Amino acid sequence: MKKLFYILLVFTQIFWAQDAFEKGNSLYQKGQYQEAISTYETILKSGQESAEVYFNLGNCYYKLNQVAPAVYHFEKALRLNPSDAEIQNNLGFAKKMAIDEIQETPKVGFSKIIQDFTSRFHYDSWAWIAIALSGLFFLSFLGYYFSNTTSLKRVFFLGMVLLLLSVLVALFGGFFEQNRIHNDNPAIVFAEVIAVKSEPNAASQEAFTLHAGTKVQILETIGKYHKIQLADLKEGWITKSAVKEIK
Protein backbone atom coordinates (compact mmCIF):
# COMPACT_ATOMS: atom_id res chain seq x y z
CA MET A 1 0.00 0.00 0.00
CA LYS A 2 2.87 2.37 0.84
CA LYS A 3 4.54 1.64 -2.52
CA LEU A 4 1.30 2.46 -4.33
CA PHE A 5 1.03 5.71 -2.39
CA TYR A 6 4.58 6.76 -3.33
CA ILE A 7 3.99 5.89 -6.99
CA LEU A 8 0.82 7.99 -7.04
CA LEU A 9 2.65 10.82 -5.28
CA VAL A 10 5.45 10.78 -7.88
CA PHE A 11 3.00 10.81 -10.80
CA THR A 12 1.01 13.63 -9.16
CA GLN A 13 4.19 15.72 -8.82
CA ILE A 14 5.16 15.07 -12.44
CA PHE A 15 1.75 16.10 -13.78
CA TRP A 16 1.64 19.14 -11.48
CA ALA A 17 5.12 20.20 -12.63
CA GLN A 18 4.07 19.84 -16.28
CA ASP A 19 1.00 22.03 -15.70
CA ALA A 20 3.13 24.65 -13.92
CA PHE A 21 5.70 24.53 -16.73
CA GLU A 22 3.03 25.13 -19.37
CA LYS A 23 1.56 27.95 -17.26
CA GLY A 24 5.00 29.54 -17.03
CA ASN A 25 5.46 29.24 -20.79
CA SER A 26 2.10 30.93 -21.35
CA LEU A 27 3.03 33.81 -19.05
CA TYR A 28 6.37 34.17 -20.84
CA GLN A 29 4.64 34.38 -24.22
CA LYS A 30 2.44 37.16 -22.84
CA GLY A 31 5.49 39.12 -21.70
CA GLN A 32 4.68 38.58 -18.01
CA TYR A 33 8.25 37.62 -17.18
CA GLN A 34 8.20 38.17 -13.41
CA GLU A 35 5.04 36.07 -13.08
CA ALA A 36 6.61 33.37 -15.24
CA ILE A 37 9.69 33.37 -12.98
CA SER A 38 7.51 32.82 -9.92
CA THR A 39 5.77 29.90 -11.64
CA TYR A 40 8.99 28.22 -12.79
CA GLU A 41 10.52 28.63 -9.32
CA THR A 42 7.59 26.74 -7.74
CA ILE A 43 8.62 23.77 -9.91
CA LEU A 44 12.20 23.92 -8.60
CA LYS A 45 11.00 24.28 -5.01
CA SER A 46 8.99 21.07 -5.44
CA GLY A 47 12.20 19.24 -6.35
CA GLN A 48 11.45 18.90 -10.08
CA GLU A 49 14.72 20.09 -11.62
CA SER A 50 15.33 20.16 -15.38
CA ALA A 51 17.42 21.95 -18.00
CA GLU A 52 14.21 23.25 -19.62
CA VAL A 53 13.05 25.01 -16.44
CA TYR A 54 16.45 26.61 -15.84
CA PHE A 55 16.67 27.61 -19.51
CA ASN A 56 13.27 29.33 -19.40
CA LEU A 57 14.19 31.10 -16.16
CA GLY A 58 17.35 32.34 -17.85
CA ASN A 59 15.28 33.68 -20.73
CA CYS A 60 12.94 35.50 -18.34
CA TYR A 61 15.79 37.19 -16.49
CA TYR A 62 17.45 38.05 -19.80
CA LYS A 63 14.26 39.79 -20.93
CA LEU A 64 14.27 41.74 -17.63
CA ASN A 65 17.94 42.73 -18.21
CA GLN A 66 19.02 41.03 -14.99
CA VAL A 67 22.42 39.74 -16.02
CA ALA A 68 23.48 37.77 -12.93
CA PRO A 69 20.38 35.54 -12.60
CA ALA A 70 20.21 35.14 -16.39
CA VAL A 71 23.79 33.84 -16.60
CA TYR A 72 23.27 31.74 -13.45
CA HIS A 73 20.21 29.91 -14.76
CA PHE A 74 21.68 29.34 -18.23
CA GLU A 75 24.76 27.86 -16.54
CA LYS A 76 22.51 25.60 -14.44
CA ALA A 77 20.70 24.47 -17.60
CA LEU A 78 24.00 23.80 -19.37
CA ARG A 79 25.24 21.58 -16.53
CA LEU A 80 22.18 19.37 -17.00
CA ASN A 81 22.34 19.43 -20.81
CA PRO A 82 25.89 20.39 -21.87
CA SER A 83 25.41 19.58 -25.57
CA ASP A 84 22.36 21.83 -26.11
CA ALA A 85 23.31 24.46 -28.71
CA GLU A 86 20.41 26.77 -27.83
CA ILE A 87 21.45 26.94 -24.17
CA GLN A 88 25.05 27.64 -25.20
CA ASN A 89 23.89 30.37 -27.58
CA ASN A 90 21.65 32.14 -25.05
CA LEU A 91 24.34 31.89 -22.37
CA GLY A 92 26.69 33.65 -24.77
CA PHE A 93 24.17 36.48 -25.25
CA ALA A 94 23.66 36.80 -21.48
CA LYS A 95 27.41 36.98 -20.83
CA LYS A 96 27.66 39.91 -23.25
CA MET A 97 25.47 41.90 -20.84
CA ALA A 98 28.13 41.64 -18.11
CA ILE A 99 30.46 44.59 -17.60
CA ASP A 100 33.61 42.56 -16.94
CA GLU A 101 35.41 41.28 -20.02
CA ILE A 102 37.55 38.38 -18.87
CA GLN A 103 39.90 36.94 -21.47
CA GLU A 104 39.93 33.21 -20.88
CA THR A 105 43.36 31.57 -20.78
CA PRO A 106 43.09 28.79 -23.38
CA LYS A 107 43.59 25.20 -22.25
CA VAL A 108 45.93 23.14 -24.36
CA GLY A 109 47.25 19.59 -24.56
CA PHE A 110 45.79 16.11 -24.26
CA SER A 111 43.67 16.96 -21.20
CA LYS A 112 41.89 19.66 -23.24
CA ILE A 113 41.06 17.10 -25.96
CA ILE A 114 39.71 14.66 -23.35
CA GLN A 115 37.60 17.35 -21.64
CA ASP A 116 36.16 18.58 -24.94
CA PHE A 117 35.13 15.01 -25.74
CA THR A 118 33.67 13.97 -22.38
CA SER A 119 31.86 17.27 -21.76
CA ARG A 120 29.67 16.71 -24.81
CA PHE A 121 27.32 14.72 -22.55
CA HIS A 122 26.31 14.74 -18.90
CA TYR A 123 27.67 11.74 -16.99
CA ASP A 124 24.12 10.35 -16.71
CA SER A 125 23.90 10.39 -20.51
CA TRP A 126 27.25 8.58 -20.74
CA ALA A 127 25.82 5.90 -18.44
CA TRP A 128 22.78 5.39 -20.69
CA ILE A 129 25.05 5.24 -23.74
CA ALA A 130 27.12 2.54 -22.02
CA ILE A 131 23.95 0.56 -21.19
CA ALA A 132 22.69 0.79 -24.78
CA LEU A 133 26.05 -0.31 -26.17
CA SER A 134 26.13 -3.19 -23.68
CA GLY A 135 22.75 -4.32 -25.01
CA LEU A 136 24.09 -4.28 -28.56
CA PHE A 137 27.15 -6.20 -27.37
CA PHE A 138 24.89 -8.91 -25.92
CA LEU A 139 22.94 -9.13 -29.18
CA SER A 140 26.20 -9.45 -31.11
CA PHE A 141 27.27 -12.23 -28.74
CA LEU A 142 24.01 -14.07 -29.41
CA GLY A 143 24.55 -13.60 -33.14
CA TYR A 144 28.08 -14.97 -32.83
CA TYR A 145 26.98 -17.92 -30.68
CA PHE A 146 24.13 -19.03 -32.96
CA SER A 147 25.82 -18.33 -36.31
CA ASN A 148 26.32 -21.38 -38.50
CA THR A 149 28.98 -19.97 -40.85
CA THR A 150 32.53 -18.83 -40.22
CA SER A 151 32.03 -15.56 -42.10
CA LEU A 152 29.06 -14.56 -39.94
CA LYS A 153 30.95 -15.49 -36.76
CA ARG A 154 33.79 -13.21 -37.86
CA VAL A 155 31.38 -10.33 -38.49
CA PHE A 156 29.70 -10.71 -35.09
CA PHE A 157 33.06 -11.17 -33.34
CA LEU A 158 34.37 -7.95 -34.88
CA GLY A 159 31.16 -6.22 -33.83
CA MET A 160 31.62 -7.50 -30.26
CA VAL A 161 35.17 -6.14 -30.11
CA LEU A 162 34.14 -2.71 -31.42
CA LEU A 163 31.13 -2.54 -29.09
CA LEU A 164 33.20 -3.57 -26.08
CA LEU A 165 35.71 -0.82 -26.83
CA SER A 166 32.80 1.63 -27.23
CA VAL A 167 31.37 0.58 -23.85
CA LEU A 168 34.75 1.20 -22.22
CA VAL A 169 34.99 4.63 -23.87
CA ALA A 170 31.48 5.52 -22.65
CA LEU A 171 32.31 4.38 -19.10
CA PHE A 172 35.53 6.39 -19.16
CA GLY A 173 33.63 9.43 -20.45
CA GLY A 174 31.06 9.12 -17.68
CA PHE A 175 33.60 8.70 -14.87
CA PHE A 176 35.82 11.49 -16.19
CA GLU A 177 32.88 13.89 -16.55
CA GLN A 178 31.50 13.02 -13.10
CA ASN A 179 34.91 13.64 -11.57
CA ARG A 180 35.31 16.93 -13.47
CA ILE A 181 31.90 18.20 -12.33
CA HIS A 182 32.56 17.05 -8.74
CA ASN A 183 35.83 19.04 -8.61
CA ASP A 184 34.37 22.00 -10.49
CA ASN A 185 32.93 24.67 -8.19
CA PRO A 186 31.76 27.63 -10.30
CA ALA A 187 29.76 30.60 -9.08
CA ILE A 188 28.24 33.77 -10.50
CA VAL A 189 28.81 37.23 -9.04
CA PHE A 190 25.42 38.65 -7.96
CA ALA A 191 26.66 41.84 -6.31
CA GLU A 192 26.37 44.82 -8.65
CA VAL A 193 30.00 45.69 -7.87
CA ILE A 194 32.38 44.03 -5.43
CA ALA A 195 36.00 44.62 -4.43
CA VAL A 196 38.07 41.44 -4.62
CA LYS A 197 40.65 41.37 -1.82
CA SER A 198 44.22 40.08 -1.80
CA GLU A 199 43.58 38.32 1.54
CA PRO A 200 40.45 36.99 3.32
CA ASN A 201 39.77 40.07 5.46
CA ALA A 202 38.17 43.47 4.96
CA ALA A 203 41.36 45.40 5.77
CA SER A 204 43.45 43.75 3.04
CA GLN A 205 44.41 45.44 -0.20
CA GLU A 206 41.95 45.50 -3.10
CA ALA A 207 43.22 43.27 -5.92
CA PHE A 208 40.59 44.08 -8.54
CA THR A 209 36.87 44.76 -8.96
CA LEU A 210 34.12 42.52 -10.33
CA HIS A 211 30.56 43.20 -11.45
CA ALA A 212 27.32 41.22 -11.66
CA GLY A 213 27.22 38.31 -14.09
CA THR A 214 30.91 37.35 -14.00
CA LYS A 215 31.66 33.65 -13.60
CA VAL A 216 34.32 32.61 -11.08
CA GLN A 217 35.75 29.37 -9.73
CA ILE A 218 35.70 28.87 -5.95
CA LEU A 219 39.03 27.39 -4.87
CA GLU A 220 38.64 27.39 -1.09
CA THR A 221 36.67 28.99 1.72
CA ILE A 222 37.85 30.67 4.92
CA GLY A 223 35.27 32.19 7.23
CA LYS A 224 32.98 34.46 5.25
CA TYR A 225 35.34 34.62 2.25
CA HIS A 226 35.76 32.51 -0.89
CA LYS A 227 39.08 32.35 -2.69
CA ILE A 228 38.18 32.69 -6.37
CA GLN A 229 39.88 32.32 -9.71
CA LEU A 230 38.84 34.00 -12.96
CA ALA A 231 39.03 32.52 -16.45
CA ASP A 232 42.24 34.54 -16.99
CA LEU A 233 43.69 32.82 -13.86
CA LYS A 234 43.65 35.95 -11.67
CA GLU A 235 42.89 35.10 -8.03
CA GLY A 236 41.53 36.92 -5.00
CA TRP A 237 39.16 36.76 -2.05
CA ILE A 238 35.49 37.70 -2.19
CA THR A 239 32.69 37.64 0.40
CA LYS A 240 30.36 34.63 0.21
CA SER A 241 27.29 36.84 -0.04
CA ALA A 242 28.56 38.42 -3.28
CA VAL A 243 28.32 35.19 -5.31
CA LYS A 244 25.90 32.34 -5.88
CA GLU A 245 27.27 28.85 -6.45
CA ILE A 246 26.02 27.08 -9.56
CA LYS A 247 26.05 23.58 -8.03
Which residues is 221 bridged to in the sheet? 226
pLDDT, tens only, 60-98: 999 999 999 999 999 999 999 988 999 999 999 999 999
- Are the beta carbons of 23 and 42 closer than 8 angstroms? no
Q: How far apart are CA 235 and CA 228, in angstroms?
A: 6
Region of poorest pLDDT, from 75-84, 106-115, 139-148: 106-115
pLDDT, tens only, 192-241: 999 999 999 999 999 999 999 999 999 999 999 999 999 999 999 999 99
Model confidence band, residue 55 (pLDDT cutoffs 50, 70, 90): very high
Evaluate if residue 16 carries a pLDDT over 90. Answer: no
Q: How far apart are CA 243 and CA 224, in angstroms?
A: 12
Q: How far apart are CA 16 and CA 186, in angstroms?
A: 31
Provide the edge-to-edge strand list for the sheet that holds 193-197: 206-211, 193-197, 235-239, 225-229, 215-222, 186-189, 243-245
Return phi, psi of residue 211, to 5°.
Answer: -125, 170
Give the list of residues 6+ apart from residue 50 with CB closer than 8 angstroms, or none: 80
Evaluate if residue 15 carries a pLDDT over 50. Answer: no
pTM for this model (two decimals): 0.76
Cα dihedral across residues 199, 219, 187, 94: positive or negative:
positive
Q: 3-class SS at 81? A: coil
More confident position, 238 or 119 = 238
Q: How far apart are CA 223 and CA 226, in angstroms?
A: 8
Region of poorest pLDDT, from 16-30, 100-114, 153-167, 184-198: 100-114
Model confidence band, residue 134 (pLDDT cutoffs 50, 70, 90): very high
Per-residue pLDDT, averaged over 243-247, amounts to: 94
> Which one, of 81, 12, 94, lies nearest residue 53 by Cα?
81
Percent of the chain with pLDDT over 70: 93
Evaluate if residue 10 carries a pLDDT over 50. Answer: no
Model confidence band, residue 3 (pLDDT cutoffs 50, 70, 90): very low
Which residues is 218 bridged to in the sheet? 228
* Helix (H) or strand (E) run with residue 175 in it: helix 150-183
